[in-house]
Amino acid sequence: MVLIEPGPASWKVVDAVGAPSLLVLFHQPDLAELADALLRGVRSLVRGEDVAADLAALVTLVAHGYFAMPTEHLDELVRWLGLPGERPAVPALTTREADILGSIARGHTVRQTARSMGIAVKTVENTQARLFRKLGAHNRSGALTIAYRMGLVDPADGDADEPAAGTQSVIP
């Protein structure tokens, strides 16, 4: 569904239909308007002056489940949400921390990691705690998410036998 400068009645139609929407605006939206549109299911935002060049591609992207919006709006939204806008500095990991991160990426439990590395469960737990502090994470899934963002773990290597941790590949 393509909405052009929607008013309150337009949003009622969007709510009733429940289809992904693309929003065309001829004015500069404020942050509240962007957040409201996203909460209502808008999957793409296009400026009025860009409709001729971008509309067909954006409709295709939205139809395939993608999300797209101009970078300046996305940057503003990222700042508002308190998310880091730039790739954070990559901490130096010890070999053991990198191995444990790789094990986490492969979905291993603490016990499985200890067994595969030939070390005590307590050693894994202590090293994991240091790893979490370095990454600024509170749990294993948070550490993995941050590690993916920093390029410490390649998502494609999640099933590999060898840990991918310590690699410096760039994740888009």
pLDDT tens digits along 89-143 = 678 899 999 999 999 999 999 999 999 999 999 999 999 999 999 988 889 988 8
What pLDDT, on a 0 to 100 scale, did the predictor assign at position 160?
Answer: 45
Q: Residue 144 carries which side chain, given as an amino acid letter? A: L
C-alpha–C-alpha distance, residues 135 and 128, integer Å: 10
C-alpha–C-alpha distance, residues 22 and 84, integer Å: 26
pLDDT tens digits along 80-102 = 666 555 555 678 899 999 999 99
pLDDT tens digits along 24-64 = 888 877 777 777 777 778 888 888 888 888 888 888 888 88
In a 3-state reduction of DSSP, which class is residue 53?
helix
> Which H or E run contains 45?
strand 42-47
